[in-house]
A and B are shown apart, each in its own frame.
Chain A
């Protein structure tokens, strides 16, 4: 990035965090509605592809991102509708969405752009980075808050939006009700399945922006550009204990780990693939650790209840 930042590792971490935060917030909304959304990865891929494709056709980043997000939302709604109304296994339909995303982006890339490898869009503008001149060098605060692109600031707005939506609006209560106790919702004369479907729509929108941030920031579409970030987002959702602020913390942790390993890769001669494997291994370690703690806690509780 540009010079003037005190801690480049921290500044880069915020950029790395953006798609992770958006995608896991998208996953949170379906999770609240009682649906495990494992298609974050595929939805990001679709958002990345359609976002840059429409930006190229319309010549405007705004319309490109918006149209891309709408198409991705449409596919997320199909995914949701099949799951909810055709009563399919959400896990398998999620795999289907991932598979569909990988296939469809390649097929469309081949037929529309006549290339199914890396496609560059040389004329395309990059999303601008916003900063306050002179304040960039303020340690930590400057790194965290200044010099980031549109998507980063949008992801923070979206975090606030999700916080208000699920904790302070009737819609949010009903959404959570649809996940926790659909029968109660039905007793109130509401339709839990509609709330679940809307959650899938939101999820598609958030993932589309996450994906668009990836392709637009480099001005190119690379096959499999999401490269596991959707899965990382899912783990962030769990590590963050399924709360918006927990997700923020977990996403920052992952982003710092990746930013740090990028820096280490530059400094040391560690093969790239080993570094790329690190997020998966760290996630695994954290997940196994969490289950050990949970298991111990529950078995202790059982012992107490049995009076041992």
Chain B
């Protein structure tokens, strides 16, 4: 039994290493084919995030929303539900921070910031919860409904940011800057790393305890493994169509709120682009384990930060990191690769 467990861990590790290795290989290949200065581009890409405190802090900061969206995707996956609406939930979370700041900022004092962030989490939960409700009530496929709701909301939020709530004093497509006192403190100047890092890390630990150490978490995971069996065991399975999606949406809403209050200080048009999708990749790399989400998010943020730095100094463009991320997506769920490492051959199952 222990032998089998060990072999499984080794196989998981090797297939992950192969996947990440392939991603780096294709990234390097693309840069050698297209860039006029591939050596410098690769150097900036891989060493850039470590080269000075500013880049280093920004790399860590870029991983914060990915930790949160990764946790959000993971909690839904654990109940074998798909939340494809992450992008929209993050965006709505961000906008609700601004909207709430118009209403509650003046009177609330020290409670203002927690109220804003909590409100954004509720907004995200409401958006994802709608898909969960449809699923619970009528078995509407949450995979498609969450995607559709999110796609519509992104366009509507775009319209609100560039229309009625646009800051008239700048050319930026963004809302006005949040009032003083409504932002999280910077902890590693001059980079934009801020207090949201601690919130994200704490939530990862909290979600771990929820999923693996509480009754509800156990039932969530059991529904994910086999819903029929869970029903047979007397678990109210209907509840677990809605509940994991509510948590998932709340985590996505938080990701948006923390990006706005911590990093940007205002709601920029399209700030959430990629956060939702990359959260899904992060959850898959982490095999839906809340604590492994942290290194997985750091890896994804590293690709992006490195590409950003390389773009500033050389002729490559940021999107090369998207191609590398796609390679990860392609291979991460391959059962053939895992079985190859588990049994030595890719045998039929």
Contact = CB atoms under 8 A, between A and B. Distances in A.
B322 A102 contact: yes
B178 interface: no
B322 A99 contact: yes
B30 interface: yes
Given A102-B322, A107-B319, A82 B330 contact: yes
Contacts of A103: 319-323, 325-326
Interface string B286-329: 00000000000000000000000000000101011111011111
Interface stretch (B53-61, B120-128, B132-140, B212-220): B132-140
A290 B332 CA distance: 34
Contact of A106 (B139, B277, B322): B322
A235 B333 contact: no
Contacts of A249: none
B155 A276 contact: yes
Given A103-B326, A107-B323, A228-B151, A82 B138 contact: no
Interface in B112-149: 134, 137-141, 143-145, 147-149
Interface in A268-285: 271-274, 276-277, 280-281, 283-284
Nearest to B35: A111
B329 A291 contact: no
A200 interface: no
B138 A281 contact: no
B79 to A, nearest CB: 16
Most chain A CB within a 10 A radius of its CB, from B152, B315, B335: B152
A88 interface: yes
A294 B151 CA distance: 25
Given A82-B330, A273-B156, A106 B319 contact: yes
A99 B341 CA distance: 27
Contact of A86 (B315, B326, B334): B334
A116 B34 CA distance: 14
Most chain B CB within a 10 A radius of its CB, from A85, A116, A280, A283: A280
Nearest to A295: B138
A231 interface: yes
Contacts of A234: 144
Interface of A: 79, 82, 85-89, 91-93, 95-97, 99-100, 102-104, 106-108, 110-111, 116, 228, 231, 234-235, 271-274, 276-277, 280-281, 283-284, 287-288, 291-292, 294-295
A46 to B, nearest CB: 12
B284 interface: yes
A284 B331 contact: no
Contact of B148 (A79, A92, A93, A284): A284
Contacts of A228: 151
24 contacts: A82-B330, A85-B336, A86-B331, A86-B334, A86-B335, A87-B334, A88-B335, A88-B336, A89-B333, A93-B333, A96-B329, A97-B326, A99-B277, A99-B325, A103-B325, A106-B322, A107-B30, A110-B319, A116-B319, A281-B148, A287-B141, A287-B148, A288-B134, A291-B138
B312 to A, nearest CB: 14
Interface string B155-170: 1101100010000000
Most chain A CB within a 10 A radius of its CB, from B148, B153, B327: B148
Contacts of A106: 317, 319, 322
B207 interface: no
Given A231-B148, A284-B152, 4 more contacts: A97-B326, A110-B319, A111-B35, A235-B148
A110 B322 CA distance: 14
Interface residues of B, number: 48
Nearest to A92: B333
B84 to A, nearest CB: 9
Contacts of B329: 92-93, 95-96, 99
Contact of A277 (B143, B156, B163): B156
Interface of B: 30, 34-35, 82, 134, 137-141, 143-145, 147-149, 151-153, 155-156, 158-159, 163, 277, 280, 284, 315, 317, 319-323, 325-337, 339
Contacts of B139: 291, 294-295
Nearest to A235: B144
Contacts of A116: 317, 319
Contacts of A79: 330
A86 B158 contact: no
Contacts of B336: 85-88
A82 B155 contact: no
B322 A284 contact: no
A288 to B, nearest CB: 5
Most chain B CB within a 10 A radius of its CB, from A97, A234, A273, A281: A273
Contacts of B335: 86-88
Contacts of A110: 317, 319
B196 to A, nearest CB: 26
A111 B335 CA distance: 35
Contacts of A271: 159, 163
Contacts of A97: 326
Contact of B330 (A93, A102, A231): A93
Contacts of A87: 334-336, 339
Given A235-B144, A274-B159, A284-B149, A100 B323 contact: yes
Nearest to B317: A110
A110 B320 CA distance: 11
B326 A99 contact: yes
A4 B147 CA distance: 41
